[in-house]
Structure 1
Amino acid sequence: MFLPLFLAMLWGGSQALDSFKLQVQEFVMVQEGLCMVVPCSIFYPSRGWSPTTPAYGFWFRDQTPKPSLPVATNKPDQDVDTSTQGRFQLLGDPSESCSLLIREAHLEDSAVYFFRFERGDYVKYNFMEYKFYLEVTALTQKPEIYVPEILQPGHQVTLFCAFNWIFDECPVPTLSWIGNTVSPHEASSRTSYFSELTFTPRPQDHNTELTCRVDFSREGVSTENTVRLSVAYAPENLKVMVSQANRTALENLESGASLRVLEGQSLRLLCVAHSNPPAQLSWARLGRTVSPSQPSDPGVLELPQIQTEQEGEFTCRAQNPLGSQNISLSLFVVSPPQLLGPSCSQEDEGLRCSCSSRARPAPSLRWRLGERLLEGELSNASFEVASSSAGPWANSSLSLREGLSSSLRLSCEALNGHGAQSGSVLLLPDEKGLASGAFASGISLGIGVTTLLFLCFILILVRTLRKKWTQAKVPAPAPAPAPAPAPGEAPRSRFSRRSTILDYINVIPKAGPLKQKAKPSSPSQPPPADGHSLEARKNQKELHPVSHNCPGPKSSLPASEAENNQEELHYAVLNFPGLRPWETQRPEGTHPEYAEIQFH
């Protein structure tokens, strides 16, 4: 009997002790300056108090071993911690709720907190086993701004700003708008968790900043968010950037600019426009669309090797739904001078020289005569300069009438803004006082060759005559008696006075021996057995062959072999129709006669 009663008493005491309970979350986080509520519920035994007995709650910062003053309480005349006074507050009826309101959280508020409850004589309890940890972090939360992606200029629009930290028990922050697009009236602050801004955007408002600011009651604690407005506008500030000959540096060109590029160089044109939404870019040359070098970037036009035919106007067009804009530039292909000449020719009155050059733009030509510079149109007694140009070509001529000498220095120069080139002429004297070195050398060589050929011809002629006279020494059959002269008529010589020393000489250049022997055009008369024959033989002995280096037989054959080897004559055929007898005395008033010498 005693044991059951004792167990019942133990069970009732244990139940009484377990009836003190607290429900609160163990970990709470809040950002600095913000406000939050920590929900809390309490359970305690119904002993030692009546419904009219007041209930008191206390929140303490856990500072073991001895707690300090409470941070919040509902008990009158109870001192509280000054660092939390006015910011920490019990919410609701302490007999049922232990919820804690924290305003304007400070970083130093981070700590462990526990709750104490008092009601009547019996219920006085520290809920040490039910603690929570408060962590205060830096303020990172920002208000949210709701703005359309693209604002149409001239159309009214409303923007919204909201701060999503809403507790009925917390004080309302102050929201304000800051920006160039905001009027002074719209910039005034409003105490709320939500704010709106109505305005009419302008094209110049594009890319401007608009800020929504949230201020809390504590001084210096605030947060804000900033956005950039995107206002639609037509293309503007269109320009072209140029890169030449693989250079990385870009040159900006405005509309109507002229661009000069060396022939053969590479060129890269980049078209850039400001617009919203982004404009569609395209290139055209002389009104015809040019295919883009990079389809993914139609604003880029690459010309790898500039040619003359690519000259002209290039236009970039930028277009979007709000409008379009064009930019044009003129492309000119340039090149340094390429000189042709100078060349000179001799004229009756002196020397005439000409010079030409091609370049873009057309070059200017000038002559340098010694130390004197001649350009343009000049004329005097000594010289005359005439110049002309057509397209990329320039021509100039110089006529010199006096002052010509071998020491004269003459040159032609061509130049434009992209280069220069010059050429010189070397003058040498000739029979008339001036000729080129090549012309003088050619004359000397021609004279030498002609003289050598003439000497060879004379030596061949002498050798051939000697062979003929050698053949004349061989005895011949007795000739038939000549008819008697008529009465009273003087005896006639066997040779006419009209006979010639050489009636015909035929020089035939031939590489091999003759195929057949040469036949005389008329029968050869043997030399008469009179004194004239002896005189002829006597004269023949005075002709001797001369040693020479001309082409022909390399040695003279004996007389006996000469008769049987007529084919030894490789280069000439000499025909002697007859010989005029040598006269011991020449009649007075007579002169020798000669036949024509022909060369074939």
Structure 2
Amino acid sequence: MLLWVIAVTDQLFALSSAPRRRGCPGVTMRRLVWLLFLPGFLCQCDPSVEVPESLIAWTGACLSIPCLYRSCVLNPIRTKKLTINSLTWYLNPVYDSEKKDFSGTVLYKHSASISPAVTERVRFLGDLERDCSLQLSDLRASENGTYGLRLIISSTGQKPEEKKWMTKISVNVMGSPPAPQIQTPSEFRESIAAQAVCSVAYHCPNYPITLTWVGLGHRTPEPTMRTGSGRTESTLTFTPTWQDHGTNLTCRLSTPAGTPSSENSVVLDVKYAPKDARVELVTGSQIQEGTTVVLNCSCRAHPPVSNYTWYRNGQHLPAQTQQELHFNKIHPDQSGSYHCKPQNRVGMSESPAITVDVQHPPKEVRITLKNLQRIREGDAVTLNCSVGSSNPPVTKYTWYKDNSQYQETQESVLTFPATEEWSGSYSCVAQNAISYSQSSSVSVDVQCELDGGRVEPGFCGSGSMLPC
């Protein structure tokens, strides 16, 4: 039943998702039944060798083309079911449709003699069992182009089958060593280990090159060098810091002579959380009541800060999320300790606190009388000019009697004897470095004692009725 299904089905049999290669026609299920009986089934092995698609070299250096037989060829060779009839390396091979074969500069041909001018510089590094690598030393500018491996293999058995392949490699022979390529992650982050790979599509044991990293200083560990498959690579593993952002990381290619021949650089883009956060007073060092005050939260951050959190005396200010904190008419109650926390998508930082000291003139200025309710002639009268608050402190008090300036002093207390000339209306003005404020008036009425011990306001004297 299974053979019948296979025989009548003409659907394409998908061996893989890769496109069909030249030299092996589309295989249908019906054809597959018959091809499975052919010796070796060689059309499944296209191409027959594994080589790089392209290589880079330069004049004076050497060219090493790594080449390995694919397992579909290698295993039958080992079991002697396949035989390599011909192996030829060409420079710039061209197909001749009349001869139905390739022509060009022959660099190596198995079991055949080659021009001495070529053989002196060409080494076939492989064999007819596993390896088909080729090396060409002391390269010349004329040896730029396409290198091709012509391989002819036959199968043994009752029905011998012959298969021919031409595998081509593009080789760019430059006048000087090319700049190496640097591959880095799409994003660096501080304190997270990362790798940078410097590579060049070149490797030749007889002309080894060196790749050296420059730019990160003594903090950089020794890189790991790796060669093979036609490439030379140097892998640098390091842990970036925020100071590395914007640093030029350079990879230098040096020839066997030890001198740098070419280099390439990348600028490190290191993402890091906010650093060096601080609060600055934008509008000046002195803050006075009623003025506009702006606090700015600054820091270093990459990427830029996306959110700011403000605090006063350790308490969160929920309505404030911008970089600047504005006070249009600042009030003394808004004095305090302020700090901020800038944040980006990497992390958050906290600034030291800054003190906002709102200065204002003296407030709630008033006079208090430090005496008994009645002032008798001869008593000591003490008036105190008290201030509710003042920032900075009061530096001068000016006393007025009956609206005339009487005295300027640094003391808030005025003391005088209760005599006739001291009766009157008193007020004081308290002044600091910002401005001044005046109290309301208070009356001082000295009461005089008359004959018989009576006390009458407005009169004084001993045993007489004299006005005070």
TM range (shorter): 0.3 to 0.5
Structure that is richer in strand per residue? 2
TM-score w.r.t. length of structure 2: 0.42
TM-score w.r.t. length of structure 1: 0.34
**Structure index of larger Rg:** 1
RCO greater where, 1 or 2, for CA within 8 Å and sep 6 or more? 2
